[in-house]
Chains A and B, each alone.
Chain A
């Protein structure tokens, strides 16, 4: 989008194929949805709202439409993909067997476990002695809620000898709805602790989790990455990649900020080390800063010019 490729038939077909792959992966792992958000957020970077507003103010819908759809067509392809994905997800599973069930990962359960695990005060109030980040936190919360109300959920609860028990796997959709209610009641009751969980607990737990992964402490792996990154940057600079222009720097900064925000989506739901795509994104960013930018600077300095026509992508 930032490169402002034209919407030629080839480009649209290629973007369509990429969108298909993207949604196939989202269908396999809903965590990948942050990448869809990142693409849609790109609209904010390329749209010139002032121009559109002026065109609309002069009652010229055609130029306004051109200004909206011209640069954002890749996002539109993704929106079409999203519509197709939603339609397929709701129709493809056999409705006789999947009707009452959650067809994807439980969402509120994960959000609840993430909320309670990342704030010590919430853990002591609602953790019921369970291990932080364990699924049991959600199950036990629903069990306590059901017993507190003296009401076994009809979809997944049962009463044996006067004691209420639950089996979430019987109907994960109904289970997730109960967790949603409990989650919202916790948020309403403890707004400050919720904020603290989101802005302090989750980011710090994420960092803590990363430090415990052996693969991320392997210095040799980083050396490999750095050497390969250096080689790639040399090739790119020799191929004519110069320093970005001021406008490109501004747009890239906004795009990178949006990407970074979107990449935090998973962490803000529940901190996890199972986010290799986010790790790759940060590695790419680090390589840009440590290898490409210094090389491009040196190259420009050696040539005695910052090359106003220097070709860059973002």
Chain B
């Protein structure tokens, strides 16, 4: 490779450098080569992205919830389902009927939330059973709402998880797989934006590839009992790493 070829490919600067000295066909050659390189790098990025997706599905993250911590996602789920009602309940509030339904069907945490408080093992068995959880979601969404009951709030936790659930279910349907699909949709948007911005810088694209390799590693890390699935809000920290690279590139 000559020194000239080591310039950023596909840039207008490259074309300017080449134009006074070379004829049309070598310039076309440079352009063509730069497009091929862009294509190869884009393909590598897509492959790395796909590796994380495949590993996520092979680990079954699309078929389970996590039992650590249940309170946060149970209330967030109730808020999201309440927002999906007609009329929707806004203001990060959950219809008590929905929250109580979830609590009475295996997700009770405190005395008084259900007639019989499930043991941690029973709760774990429920949240890791995709079919039962999907059924519970469907039933909770259809539960008759009693408007006289005071709504429920999510105390001492970030409220964004309710939005995450809401948009995941709105876009991909009311099932656990929607949470994984939504996660990767955010990541894909983030990666695409990064690629668009830095498509002319192989070094920045290298950083993006390193990030995706790290993400691939982290999907395994998510099997940690304190995380369990990639849609645990403890794992949602990942998507904006691309933003971090964007800023530092």
With A2-B248, A27-B158, A255-B248 as known contacts, state yes or no: A284 contacts B243, CB within 8 Å: no
List the B side residues contacting A104 at CB < 8 Å. Answer: 156-159
With A169-B156, A224-B216 as known contacts, state yes or no: A74 contacts B246, CB within 8 Å: yes
Tell me whether B155 is interfacial, beta carbon within 8 Å. yes
Query: How near does chain A come to B103, taking the closest CB pair, in angstroms?
Result: 15
Tell me whether B101 is interfacial, beta carbon within 8 Å. no
Bits for A28-67, please: 1 = Cβ < 8 Å to B, else 0: 1111100100110010000000000000000000000000
- How many residue pairs link A and B with beta carbons under 8 A? The number is 259
- Contact present for A240 and B93 (CB under 8 Å): no
- Contact present for A42 and B248 (CB under 8 Å): yes
Mostly helix, strand, loop or mixed at chain A's interface? helix
- Contact present for A93 and B224 (CB under 8 Å): no
- Choose one: B90, B202, B211, B236; the contact of A311 (CB below 8 Å): B202
With A313-B201, A313-B249 as known contacts, state yes or no: A101 contacts B160, CB within 8 Å: no
With A29-B237, A97-B151, A277-B241 as known contacts, state yes or no: A235 contacts B217, CB within 8 Å: no
Query: How near does chain B come to A296, taking the closest CB pair, in angstroms?
Result: 9
Residue of B nearest to A291 (CB): B210
List the A side residues contacting B240 at CB < 8 Å. Answer: 18, 21-22, 25, 32, 35
Chain B interface category by residue count: 35 or more
- Choose one: B1, B189, B227, B244; the contact of A39 (CB below 8 Å): B244
- Contact present for B207 and A313 (CB under 8 Å): yes
Tell me whether A314 is interfacial, beta carbon within 8 Å. yes
- Choose one: B51, B189, B247; the contact of A21 (CB below 8 Å): B189
Q: How far is A288 from B214 in the complex, measured between Cα atoms in Å? A: 12
- Contact present for A235 and B40 (CB under 8 Å): yes
Binds B, one of A122-130, A183-191, A192-200, A301-309: A301-309
Q: Which of B185-218 contact A (CB under 8 A)?
A: 186, 189-190, 193-194, 196-198, 201-207, 209-211, 213-218
Tell me whether B41 is interfacial, beta carbon within 8 Å. yes
With A39-B247, A224-B216 as known contacts, state yes or no: A21 contacts B186, CB within 8 Å: yes
List the A side residues contacting B92 at CB < 8 Å. Answer: 92-94, 98
Tell me whether B153 is interfacial, beta carbon within 8 Å. yes
Q: Which of B67-126 contact A (CB under 8 A)?
A: 90-93
Query: How near does chain B come to A111, taking the closest CB pair, in angstroms?
Result: 14
- Contact present for A39 and B241 (CB under 8 Å): no
Could you write out 21 A-B pairs with CB less than 8 Å apart?
A5-B249, A14-B193, A21-B186, A25-B160, A25-B240, A102-B156, A105-B158, A172-B156, A213-B224, A225-B217, A231-B44, A240-B37, A275-B237, A277-B241, A279-B217, A281-B244, A283-B213, A311-B6, A311-B8, A311-B201, A314-B248
